[in-house]
Structure 1
Amino acid sequence: MTFRTFIFPVMVAASVILFSCKDKKEAYTVAQEVTATGNQERAAQNYQNYCSGCHGEKMDMFVDRQWKHGSELKDLVFGIKTGYSNDGMPAFAATFTDKEIEELAQYILAGIKNVEQYYFDDSVESNIFESEKLTVRIDTVATGIAVPWGIAFLPDNELLVTNRGGQLYRVKNRKNTEVSGVPEVVAEGQGGLLDVILHPDYANNHRIYFSYSKGKKENGRKLATTAVMTAILEGNSLKQQKIIFEANPYAPTRHHYGSRLVFDDKGYLFISVGERGNENGNPQTLGDNQLGKIHRIKDDGSIPADNPFKNDNGKPTSLYCYGNRNPQSLAINPSTGELWETEHGPRGGDEINIITPGTNYGWPLVSYGINYNGEVITDKTEALGIQDPLHYWIPSIAPSGMAFVTSDVYKPWKGALLVGSLRFKYLNLCYLDGTKVTHEEKLLKNIGRVRDVRQGPDGYIYVAVEDTDTSVLRLVPVQ
């Protein structure tokens, strides 16, 4: 097990964000500008000693915010020097020299520019998109689905696509045919009909699985949870529906359901469940609490005997790991068989993790992010017994959907990892060396909120995009 480590960010070029070639040049220019103002090691150290307690250990997550008093150099210098007593910001005129204040302001300004690189100026004016190594054309596969949360591939070039509002569609030749027999869902907030996958032996049993937000009333309150149902797909109808998993406890909130599903090569079904917004009560609580965790069950809902956690009677539970915030991607690495996951951090600190049994992933005891209101959740990015992510993003990109590229259709990308970004509306390409992300590219800039990405049995990559005219896209390399 590795542990979270922290290195003082001396300049933006050493930031945790990995840049494309163009971004590296921009970051290097920013770093040169910062270095020219003075001793940036001192600025980084001053930030850690005087600023991080209130604003978070990583400067990058502090700058991912709205700037009430302005974010230009003069504004930052003024704020550091004179403070804003009504906002709880002390004055540092007696603490730092004018030179040190300007160094610190430049250091923070560099972080602001780092965050701003994600606000793309590009507008989508063509169905052709260029990357460093490959140009692709966008083909429309499905339209008219408002929030296509999950996609799965049926035989004969058909897709199954969920709409978060509660509809399941069979899609062929851009025609959507609604499937009946879907259960009632709590289509509120982030809830609704969510992921969908096929049984590994679908060709013989026609069995599918889908996750959704299931509701109930208790003492006059409407509660909800993450549930998984399996059913037989017969034509355009679901038959023999059976709920095989319900995450307890139910909660009144309408967010952080998690809800990704994936089968491994042994036929076990993994289910991600978010902590439903209760970070203090759920992700670090074991026993009967199933929120903020990833679960492993058999295809019929029964529990594998070698699952790592047992109940009070010594029987195995579905729990596989814990300390998760809101995992919205699960994928099996085809090279190693490992289960990979992406997880929504708060403001900053989205993660890629390799999921192993019995492991604590730390939320909210450690985090690379701060809260949405700017408050620090924890001052720790490492702790004994907590697994370090193999990669994280500051600012948060809001990752959803993940796929390993194994197809020869995309030879320059083969072996890389694709992750959708909800927040910044693009597709993130991670080049890998083993478990290390060595380089990233931002693909399909401003395409829309990317909810899911999958590699189909035809070798092509399919992308589900929210609230656009084109709900599911296929990437076709341009020769």
Structure 2
Amino acid sequence: MKFTPQSLFLIGLFSLFACAQDKNPVNNKHSYEIIVPELSNPWGFAFLPDGSMLINEKAGNMIHFKNGKKSQIDGLPEVYIRGQGGLLDIKLHPNYNTNGWIYFTYASSEGEEKGGHTALMRAKLKNNVLVNKELLYKATPNTTRGQHFGSRIEFDDKGYLFFTIGERGNRDVNPQDITRDGGKVYRLNDDGTIPSDNPFVNTKNAKTAIFSYGHRNPQGMTIHPDTRELWTHEHGPKGGDEINIIKSGKNYGWPVITYGVNYIGTQITDETSRPGMEQPIHYWDPSIAPSGMAFISSDKYGDWKGNLLIGSLKFQYLDNCYLQDGKIVKEERLLDGLGRVRSVNQNPDGYIYVGIENLGIIKLIKN
């Protein structure tokens, strides 16, 4: 069946209005306090041992927030600013107190091709300057496309470093091809070397840092506080945003299987499952455009303890997900309408902090 430009427009318009509303109820039994005001796009942030914060603004600025004041961090590598690309996530080494390593992802133009791709670097901080910088991974090839850079960072209990890269808008090639970067979850040793038991270390021409593949654009990643499994979420197309539990060498299906459709409403595939491809534990339709992800593991929030929090860019709220037997059984909207929720972290003090575009970083308080 062929579609004219006019029919495609009408399909897209109908789909837009048919799936324009999120049906999760609003929970008003909470409040918030603005901790860091006047931020544009706080893509990632991390808490230093003294209680201060390092904040990555997507536009290419790293900020040290301490005692109510913002200071600029110098010494960043050149950041490629395009579309969804810029300065992305930030994470401290689990042994930061002894080794001082800070890890961050960013879009980089390093390489022979025009454009950019996601990179991972570590560095140390001295007098608000990044020193001892080490580029641990740079995805290739560069492209001028502005989509799907990822990227989140997480450490597991064994000290392995995980990070995500989106498929850079090349869905028909990158996510299913383990010889190419993009659409993957990667695992490294903390110094950037490849773990000997990574799933594709003995596969010819494979990118040996790959831990799992078949992803679209993962912008949330965290460790489950009880099972210690690695959880991610990723953007679907129109519908089909997913939550996945990441396992070594597994294929998560994009774009061969999906619960979403093209943005204009046309079909990507008629398959939502296939042998050898993992199923999400949860998916959203309509898409909420998820970003940021954290479990509540402290006692600060009463019966919310154990819940999973996920930011919604599209509908501008914090999704409070109740879990039972590893499945989401209930969702509700927190911080409803406050802004596009970009990042979510639990502070060592036990409180949840949330980065909201064009507002800042706030502390969530349960009434």
Task: Give the TM bin, normalised by the shorter chain.
Answer: over 0.9
Aligned: 1:476 with 2:365:
yes
Q: Given the alignment of the two structures, is residue 196 of structure 1 paired with residue 90 of structure 2, yes or no?
A: yes
CA drift of 1:377 comes to 0.8
Corresponding residue number in structure 2 for 1:261 = 153
Higher strand share: 2
2:282 matched to 1:388? no
* Runs of 5+ unmatched residues, structure 2: 4-9
Task: Determine whether 1:116 maps to 2:58.
Answer: no
Q: Give the Å deviation of 1:64.
A: 9.8
CA distance in 2, matches of 1:355, 1:381: 18
| 363 and 315 in structure 1: CA distance in 2 versus 1, 3 angstrom threshold | closer
Q: Which residue of 2 aligns with 1:226?
A: 118
Please say if residues 169 and 177 of structure 1, whose CA atoms lie closer than 8 Å, have aligned partners that are also in contact.
yes
Is 2:281 the partner of 1:368?
Answer: no
- 2:100 equivalent to 1:206: yes
Residue matched to 1:170 = 64
d(CA) in 2 for partners of 1:251 and 1:64?
30
C-alpha displacement of 1:173: 3.5
* 1:12-51 equivalent positions in 2, closer than 5 A: none
User: Separation in 2 of the partners of 1:334 and 1:163?
Assistant: 28
Tell me how far apart the structure 2 counterparts of residues 54 and 283 of structure 1 sit (CA, whole Å): 28
TM-aligned CA deviation for residue 189 of structure 1: 0.7
Q: Distance in 1 between matches of 2:302 and 2:258?
A: 36
Instruction: For structure 1, list consecutive stretches of 5 or more residues without a partner in the other structure.
Output: 1-52, 56-62, 72-111, 121-129
1:456 aligned to which of 340, 344, 347: 347
Residue 116 of structure 1 aligns with an amino acid whose one-letter code is Q
Tell me the residue number matched to 2:135: 243
Instruction: Report the Cα distance in structure 2 between the residues aligned to 1:216 and 1:404, rounded to whole angstroms.
Output: 35
**Secondary structure, in 3 states, of the residue corresponding to 1:222?**
coil
- CA deviations on 1:39-85 (whole Å, 9 max, x unpaired) are xxxxxxxxxxxxxx999xxxxxxx995239x97xxxxxxxxxxxxxx
1:153 partner amino acid? F
> Deviation digits for residues 130-167 of structure 1, max 9, x if unmatched?
827xx222111112221100010112221111000111
Match of 1:273 among 160, 165, 188: 165
Relative to structure 1, is the Cα distance of residues 476 and 64 closer, same or farther in structure 2, using a 3 angstrom cutoff?
A: farther
Q: Is the 8 A contact 1:223 1:251 kept in 2?
A: yes
Which amino acid counterpart does residue 283 of structure 1 have in structure 2? P
User: What's the TM-score once normalised by structure 2's chain length?
Assistant: 0.93
Q: In the TM superposition, what whole-angstrom CA distance separates every residue of 1:183-222 from its partner, at most 9, and x where no partner exists? A: 110112111100000011101111100000001464xx62
Amino acid at match of 1:131: N
Structure with the higher helix share, 1 or 2: 1
Q: CA deviation at 1:312?
A: 5.2
The whole-number CA distance in structure 1 between the counterparts of 2:308 and 2:24 is 22
Larger radius of gyration between Structure 1 and Structure 2? 1
Q: Deviations over 1:305-349 (max 9, x none)?
A: 000013556998101010000000010001011000000000000
Conserved in 2, the CA contact under 8 Å of 1:151 and 1:196?
yes
Matched-pair identity in %: 47
Partners of 2:233 and 2:142 in 1: how far apart? Answer: 23
CA distance in 2, matches of 1:284, 1:341: 18
Q: Separation in 2 of the partners of 1:326 and 1:406?
A: 26
CA distance in 1 between counterparts of 2:88 and 2:199 reads 27
Normalising by structure 1, what TM-score?
0.72
Q: Find the aligned partners of 2:172 and 2:285 in 1 and give their Cα distance.
A: 23
CA contact 1:272–1:294 (8 Å) conserved in 2: yes
Cα offset, 1:118, TM superposition:
5.2
1:429 maps to 320
**Quick check: 1:282–1:291 contact (8 Å CA) kept in 2?**
yes
Among residues 223, 241, 244, which one is paired with 1:332 in the alignment?
A: 223
Aligned to 1:377: 268
CA distance in 2, matches of 1:54, 1:415: 49
Deviations 1:434-467 (A, max 9, x none): 3111111111111101000111000000000012
Aligned to 1:318, which of 198, 206, 209?
A: 209
- Alpha-carbon distance change, 302 to 444 in structure 1, aligned in 2, over 3 angstroms: same
| C-alpha distance in 2 between matches for 1:216 and 1:238 | 19
Change (3 A) 1:285 1:409: same
Correspondences of 1:283-302 after superposition (within 5 Å): 283-287=175-179, 289-302=180-193
Q: Does 1:160 align with 2:54?
A: yes
CA distance in 2, matches of 1:447, 1:198: 28
- Could you tell me whether the CA contact under 8 Å between 1:54 and 1:375 is conserved in 2? no
Give the SS at the match of 2:123.
strand
Q: Given that residues 151 and 166 in structure 2 are in contact (C-alpha distance below 8 angstroms), is that contact kept between their aligned partners in structure 1?
A: yes
Distance 2:345 2:108 in 1: 26
Amino acid at match of 1:272: T
Measure how far apart 1:251 and its partner are: 1.8
More moved, 185-194 vs 167-176:
167-176
Equivalent position of 2:13 in the other structure: 66
